[in-house]
């Protein structure tokens, strides 16, 4: 899947992030819990250097709980603090505050010894588009401090937001990387909506998503769409889904575009089930 998805403003975004790093005590790197590795921008490690970091695996309500544990063990083995959250219902947010205070305790103690007291903890939040950064900020702040949207790239510029627990967050636009060389990662990003749907062939995308789900979560597919999978090709399975969902055009022809949108939308909203697409 060849996708030209690197807008011109991304170079400026990277420069802005580098210039803002001295202003913060810790970096929050937000990943999609369904695709932790695919949603991790490899540039971020180089950008933030040795700055304390907390990885926040968002959308944990949509990911497989057993796989969540495996990813937690993986990051623990790398000595990278992590927390799983569902920013929509605020699950796990207290863990963010708790782990932040632990990670920057030494620095805050040094500031207090210098006579600097009650200074807010300052954090920068980073992540690729559509991992739920803005929703997470809104949940942490208890108000609509950041614009949100279901399309990647809603946040356009840096903005500070006051958070409970004496915390201030510097929001940044979603940061992409120039070239997607790994096909599976590109597909994972497309499946979850990190790449704008306008850049994609929705029927091809849904076909490849369905093919993947049949392979790793066959029972969830069968249950969601009340269909049979054995001895059926992916194309025939898609036909079954289309007929069961009434995706039929005049003359009885199957509306594959509508069926494709249904499958992709069901996956993104967790209607098929709790799904993680990759393991450590």
Contact call for residues 237 and 259 (beta carbons, < 8 A): no
Q: Is 133 annotated as a binding residue?
A: yes
Q: Is 186 annotated as a binding residue?
A: no
Q: Is 58 annotated as a binding residue?
A: yes
Q: Is 106 annotated as a binding residue?
A: no
Q: Is 261 annotated as a binding residue?
A: no
Q: What dihedral do alpha carbons 182, 184, 187, 193 form, nearest 10°?
A: -90
Q: Is 135 annotated as a binding residue?
A: yes
Q: Is 141 annotated as a binding residue?
A: no
Q: Is 115 annotated as a binding residue?
A: no
Q: Is 257 annotated as a binding residue?
A: no
Q: Is 132 annotated as a binding residue?
A: yes
Q: Is 246 annotated as a binding residue?
A: no
Q: Is 87 annotated as a binding residue?
A: yes
Q: Can you list the pairs that 188-191 forms with residues at least 24 positions away whose Cβ atoms lie under 8 Å?
A: 188/34, 188/35, 188/38, 188/39, 188/277, 188/278, 189/35, 189/38, 189/39, 189/128, 190/1, 190/3, 191/35, 191/264, 191/267, 191/268, 191/277
Q: Is 107 annotated as a binding residue?
A: no
Give the annotated binding-site residues: 58-61, 86-87, 130-135, 174
Summarize the annotated binding site for GTP as residue ranges. Answer: 58-61, 86-87, 130-135, 174
């Amino acid at each position: 899947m060849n996708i030209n998805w690197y807008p011109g403003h991304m170079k400026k975004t990277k420069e802005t992030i580098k210039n803002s790093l001295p202003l913060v005590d810790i970096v929050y790197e937000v990943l999609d819990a369904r695709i932790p590795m695919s949603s991790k921008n490899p540039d971020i490690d180089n950008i933030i250097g040795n700055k304390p970091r907390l990885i926040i695996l968002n959308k944990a309500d949509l990911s497989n709980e057993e796989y969540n544990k495996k990813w937690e063990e993986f990051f623990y083995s790398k000595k990278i603090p992590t927390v799983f959250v569902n920013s929509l219902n605020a699950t796990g947010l207290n863990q963010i505050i708790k782990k932040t205070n632990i990670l920057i305790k030494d620095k805050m103690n040094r500031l207090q010894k210098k006579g600097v007291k009650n200074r807010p903890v300052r954090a920068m939040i980073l992540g690729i588009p559509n991992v739920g950064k803005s929703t997470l900020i809104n949940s942490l702040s208890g108000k609509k401090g950041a614009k949100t949207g279901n399309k990647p790239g809603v946040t356009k510029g840096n903005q500070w937001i006051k958070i409970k627990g004496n915390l201030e967050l510097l929001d940044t636009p979603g940061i992409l990387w120039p070239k997607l060389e790994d096909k599976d990662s590109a597909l994972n990003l497309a499946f979850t909506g990190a790449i704008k749907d306008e850049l994609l062939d929705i029927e091809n995308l849904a076909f490849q998503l369905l093919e993947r789900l049949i392979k790793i979560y066959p029972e969830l597919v069968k249950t969601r769409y009340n269909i049979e999978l054995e001895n059926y090709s992916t194309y025939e399975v898609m036909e079954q889904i289309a007929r069961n969902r009434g995706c039929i055009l005049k003359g009885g022809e199957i509306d594959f575009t509508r069926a494709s949108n249904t499958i992709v939308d069901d996956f993104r909203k967790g209607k098929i089930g709790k799904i993680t697409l990759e393991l450590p």
